[in-house]
Amino acid sequence: MASTSNNSVDQIRILKLVDGKHCENTLYRLQKGWTIRFMLGPDLASQKVTVYTNIPPSEQPFKRTVYYPLSWELLTKSGINSLDAYAPVKLSHSGAFQYYFTYNDKKAGSGYFIVDPTLCIGMDNHVLPLDAVCMQTLLPKSLGQFCDWKDRLLVAKESGYNVLHFTPIQKLGCSNSSYSVSDQMAVNPSFYSSVPVTFNDVENLVEEIRRDWEMLSVTDVVWNHTDKHSSWLKTYPESAYNLHNSPYLRPAYILDRAIFHLTLDIEKGKKYASYFPLSIIETEKDLESLKVILLKNVLPGLKLWEFYQVDVPKQVEHFTQAVKSFKQNGNVTKDVKIKIIQDPNFNRLQCSVDIQAAVEQFYAGSDCDLDRAVSSFVSTLEWLNRVKKETVMSDLFSAVNNIIAGVRYERLAADGPKVVLLNKQHPLTTMYFHHQFEDSTVDEEEQFVFGDTKNSKFIMAHNGWVMGANALENFAEYPGKVYFRRELVCWGDIVKLRYGSSPSDCPPLWERMKQYTEMTARIFHGIRIDNCHSTPIHVAEYMLDAARKIRPDVYVFAELFTGSEEVDNIFVNRLGLTSLIREALNAWDAHELGRLVYTYGGEAISSFIQPATQILQPSRAHALFYDITHDNESVIVKRSIRDVLPFSALVSMSCCAIGSNRGHDEMTPHHINVVNEKRKYRKWNSALNSGSEFVGIKSGMIQGKHLLNVLHQTMAMNGFTQIFVDQRTQDVVAVTRHNPQTHYSYILVGNTSFSDSKMKPVPPMLVEGSIMGIPLEAKPSETEQSTQDYLKGFTKDKQFINGIDNYNLVVDTDIAASNSTCCKILESEDKSSQTVHFTHFPPGSIVVLRVKVTETVNKSISDIRETIASLHNSNTHFDKLVSKLNLRTLNRVLFRCNEEEMSDGFGISAYQIPSWQKLCYCGIAGIAIPLKKISFSNDLGHPICSNLREGNWLMDYISSRLLKHPDTKDVGNLYADWFSILQKLPRYLIPMYFELIISLTYQKLLHACWKNMSSFVAEGSSFVKSLSLGTVALCGVVKGAALPRVHPDVPGVCSTSVDKDVQDCSSISAGLPHFSSGVMRCWGRDTFIAMHGLQLVTGQYDDARNIILSFAGCLRHGLIPNLLGEGKISRYNCRDAVWFWLQCIQDYCEAKGFELLGMPVARIFPEHDSEPTPVGAKSQPLSDIIQEAMQRHVDGISFRERNAGSGIDSNMSDEGFLVEVGVDKTTGFVFGGSKFNCGTWCDKMGESEKAGTRGVPATPRDGSAVELVGLCKSTVRWLEAAHNSGKYAYDGVFIKTCDGSVNKLTWAKWNEQIAKNFEKYFYVGDEDTSHLVHKRYIYKDTHGASYSWCDYQLRPNFPIAMVYAPELFDAEHAWKALQIIQDKLLGPLGVKTLDPDDMQYRGDYDNSNDSDDKSIAKGFNYHQGPEWLWPVGYFLRAKLYFAKKLGSKKLEETIRFIRSYTVNHQLHLENSQWCGLPELTNSNGSHCHDSCPIQAWSHATLLDLLYDMKDL
């Protein structure tokens, strides 16, 4: 996780909800005062979701089962997008909290979040950060009498610790183990002196220590077990697992007693003297003998399988009795098979079978032949008994192996206790059950215990742990076999407590432990859950809820042995564990130790700074990182004496809580056993170095540890949150802690000694910045003696826990760098860095360097921070500059792809990131978009970051590019100024500050874009705003692809700042990067399909007007150009562009009025055959141009393209250059084209010589294309209305008849003619008897095509007609047809261009395919299946229109569907480096590498859709 921008700003974390996701093992850590915003994930966009959480309002107490619904709020004024809504909750309590969410009365997902407690110390209650915790574990029994505690605890204080961890202070049991609590409600009487000690006394001391010593105190709670002799168990034996409440343990108990009696037999030396003549076990041969005895002598006689078997004669008797009352009814269940039903009381041979089922299986199944039935029944019972015996024997074989393994560890293993004696006190293995009665024989004990309920209640199961067990399952519960298979690592002094599932199952136990927990929480500031992984999790939840009622900010930590981080997270989530104990002693070498130091906290140095509002990311459980715990062996024994200091020093550099065990700092060379240790800790005496009863600052490594603890706290309290671990050599590790605010650092270098080793050369270390001094330097005073020499010379004190006093460290503190005795520091010539040469740095040494940046760098950091701070304001110089930029200039600042930029002629292309790719855009968006993802993931290793660290090339590129253009020069100067400061920083800091400058300015530039747009966009949803950026990215002025000049009398049109001959009018790129420059940029069809969404909806009316007039000047043959070519080399080979142009005219007039119709158009081609004329040579009002287009269509258009041949189209056949268009006088339908060309948007011309498709159009769509009929209807309808209102002078067109006469076709008549014929000729209903019908209840794609079967193909074109002329469609027909499109054609992002059931369907487009497959060669299937995005907008708009017609229920369902479906487009926009939606995808939404990644009409039609929905 990267740094948070400013902790003084309200911190907000966004948690995205995912349908069906239950995040019980995902950990989210937060802090009090923060806010969570729950937001809907994409799959919930269409649902009415309610979020509940059990975090209470600030004034109410927490109750785990009480959940509060959250209210939804909106980020924007627009309510269109539910993904912009959020449900906030302020975090006012610490602990573990759960959330869940519902819709349609079902629980759809859930999860947890943890809120860290606030820990306060001192008179002023100042906060102790969690990462500042320095904890020391102590055994209270070794503190002696209570009156001496302070003297002994003072050692921890003077050693620099700030948290004391006490093992239980309660009365202990017979073993005197620190965790064998005998009475949870009584203080350990060993603390008494002349008067008893009370819990109040302890509480007062704890508070005194907190107040005066500024130290917290925490202790263990032991919920899972109690001492086996606890007096309260006599009253409440049901509190433990015993043979009465857990009879399934009976076989395990018998086995346990047999092992015990085997011990006695071996001890007596009679029965097994030949195997063990000395009555001891000391060799592997002895173990083999023991195994033989168990398997052959002991286990067979126990007949433990009888607990799982049936008494065959008894069951036969029941069977024969049942047969007598059996009545045949013919309903025999043939598949019924009997099985053994376990006796719940686990008595021998008391299991049973389902007799009724047996009668059906054997009696009825044998045609009621009793003899045969009984015989079969007996055989089956005997077989079932054998199976049970085999299972039991298998379990017993495992048990024997486990017994042998246990004996081997305890008696033979080098690292085991090496027990010698074999007797009642030292049995073969630890007994699994507490047998409180006199010993007799196994048989007699079985009768005694099983025969009397009172006796069985007091045979209680011991507790322990099971290696590799599922921590979420209670190993003591049935049907577990842990006790029977001897899998328990058993603690023989305690019994396992049995809580059941709720307090009602064992009220005395729950109440006692609740009181114990509440008392603990009242006294102590924190709780360590002992044996947490084996404690039933619901019990721990209950107890912690009670604790938090007493102390809301209780610090809860535990040691988990689950073996899984995910399972750890479940415990952390449900219990609200603040920290998990981690053990540094698990590291097997210095490299692994360094990895652990890095893993358990902190972030990488120079991490990106995250905003105050950010996505909530999963966390790692907070670590309490111990160098050595009270369960660990001494470091001196496990590694070497010289590793004690560097090992602990490296741990102290961790960016998390740290801990240690009392005795480690005093260099105690053995494990201080929690069970056997009876000696006392030594007291503090600052005047002494050491002594039998006292320790001082010079004892062991206390001085060094004190300084390390102080350093750890200093770093945590002063913002040293970043960390870097450098493995210098096999043994030498350097750890840097860095403050991202001050850029000060502490560097600790430690020379570890995992085993005794000689001094080796240490390579020099380069340090950027200035070394201010050396806070700590320590090394062994001598290096010759080995660890074994020290161990041999050590004498264990009989009264006090002592350490090795003759291992001396030379410790220097706060010295100048020049005074170091272990290293020499040399400064570089430019004084920007220093090199540390390790001159005398033997194993066991450490040195800490305090480093700051140079004054020059510090000045640059201050300057850049001042710049960044100002950018957070809204009235900076940058804001003022940007506010003056129009969208054409913002296009240049933000976007422009490689080809657009190169067309300017400045020699600039898109920036190439080495080892990665070219940036998509040359403008700020090109770097800001990938940088956002890099920052979010803190990917400091990304090639962009590497490029920034290695040189200034990218910064120079950004500023110099902007400086080259007059319109962006001022902005470029600002970037240049900022980057000149940035370049003075240390290279490792540049990516972080560069990202801040880019992200802040990028957001300002985006807001400037939206401010230049309509209120629909400016106040719209994030989806609307993202789509609207297509207006900026795709609309601009590009040299060599300019619009034809607009008439000079059109107001507001001027020349560009760099070329007086080019008007400052934006053109619309069809898509980037393929259609970005030159003749391929501007397409008539694409321009006018995109215009409404990209320009009218966004409020760019002047740009829309100029494009309409500019294209009008190019009118020729009554057509608008397909390829514009600046009006000089235009192609007029499409018949649909003119109709989309006419539609845009009416859309513009609807928005801005009819003045447009009177504006002058500069005709380039006054006559169809004339050469281009100068601007102004001939002009006409736009209304005349419209009328000319309409009249030409009625007259009929027929011409051969100019310059026909390979010069303008290398693939077209000669016949294809003939363009023919007209209007059917009987239907009113516009028609045109031929089988040799393709004049609509499905315009793929075959290119493959190999496949024989060259010159063959893939989709001619000649005849009357359905969308063009709809567009024509829309136009004549509008012209009729415009004429009737006096806005348009012409009332119709003229038609020449066969006899030469002229008739008028009025708009009204033409309108009526189309309406009358449309359903008749286009709807494919039941009445259509053509053999070409492939699907019914759709609308034809064309009418009158050269290939008649093409008319009946299902394509997504009729919804376009529905949008522009919905009155043509019967509402029910339309709805059914749209549903078929949804079912058959709709993909994740786009819509299939052909029915997948069609034999011509090919869903994947690859223009490079050079096969001989006609259907796909050279991309022949461009419109034969691939999923295009722009028709989706029309489909959804049509669906929305007809849903309104069909009632509120249909409308509600449709709105929900649209919101759900368009989430895919939102997600694509969020993840697109092009900030765009693509032209098309391949089948099922798969990526198409030949598609433009951002396409004008893909954005536009979805903007149109959202505009339609704005008031819904």
Contact present, 1354 and 1334 (Cβ < 8 Å): yes
Buried b (16+ CB within 10 A) or exposed e, 1155-1194: ebbebbbbbbbeeeeeebeebeebbbbbbbbbbbbbbbbb
749: left (phi over 0), alpha (psi -120 to 50) or beta: beta
Using CA atoms of 858, 860, 866, 869 in order, give the dihedral in degrees to the nearest 10. -90
Closest CA to 650 of 753, 580, 743, 557: 753
Could you tell me the two tokens for 1055? 């020349």
CA distance 1247 to 1258: 10
Complete DSSP assignment for 802-860: ----S--EEEEEEE-GGG-SSEEEEE-TTSSEEEEEESS--TT-EEEEEEE--HHHHHH
Our measurement of the distance from residue 61's CA atom to the centroid of its chain's CA atoms, rounded to an integer in Å, reads 31
CA distance 662 to 645: 15
Q: Which amino acid is at 1236?
A: F
Decide if 631 is catalytic: yes
CA distance 1242 to 764: 69
Give CA separation, 1278 vs 1284, 1286, 1318, in Å: 10, 12, 18
State the DSSP code for 107.
E
Closest CA to 1357 of 1024, 1089, 1034, 1092: 1089
Task: List the catalytic residue out of 227, 265, 286, 530.
Answer: 530
Residues 6+ positions from 1284 with CB-CB distance below 8 Å: none
Backbone torsions φ then ψ of 429, nearest 5 degrees: -140, 165
DSSP, collapsed to helix, strand or coil, labels residue 765 as: strand
Residues 6+ positions from 95 with CB-CB distance below 8 Å: 62, 114, 115, 117, 544, 548, 552, 576
State the CB neighbour count (10 A cutoff) for residue 58.
9
Decide if 837 is catalytic: no
State the CB neighbour count (10 A cutoff) for residue 985.
22
Contact present, 1175 and 1047 (Cβ < 8 Å): yes
Residues 6+ positions from 737 with CB-CB distance below 8 Å: 602, 653, 655, 715, 720, 722, 723, 745, 746, 747
CB burial of residue 1419 (10 Å; 0-12, 13-18, 19+): buried
Task: List the catalytic residue out of 631, 1195, 1291, 1413.
Answer: 631
Decide if 533 is catalytic: yes
State the DSSP code for 352.
B
Contact present, 1381 and 1356 (Cβ < 8 Å): yes
Closest CA to 680 of 588, 827, 802, 546: 802
Backbone torsions φ then ψ of 557, nearest 5 degrees: -140, 165
Task: List the catalytic residue out of 165, 434, 533, 630.
Answer: 533
Closest CA to 1402 of 1386, 1425, 1385, 1418: 1425
Any alpha helices (H) in 451-559, and if so which ranges? 453-456, 507-523, 537-550
- Please give the helix or strand (H or E) that residue 220 lies within, else none: strand 216-221
Could you tell me the two tokens for 1313? 């003619």
Contact present, 136 and 218 (Cβ < 8 Å): no
Contact present, 608 and 991 (Cβ < 8 Å): yes
Contact present, 972 and 960 (Cβ < 8 Å): yes
Any alpha helices (H) in 1113-1201, and if so which ranges? 1137-1152, 1182-1195
CA distance 1108 to 1161: 10
Q: Which residues are catalytic?
A: 530, 533, 631
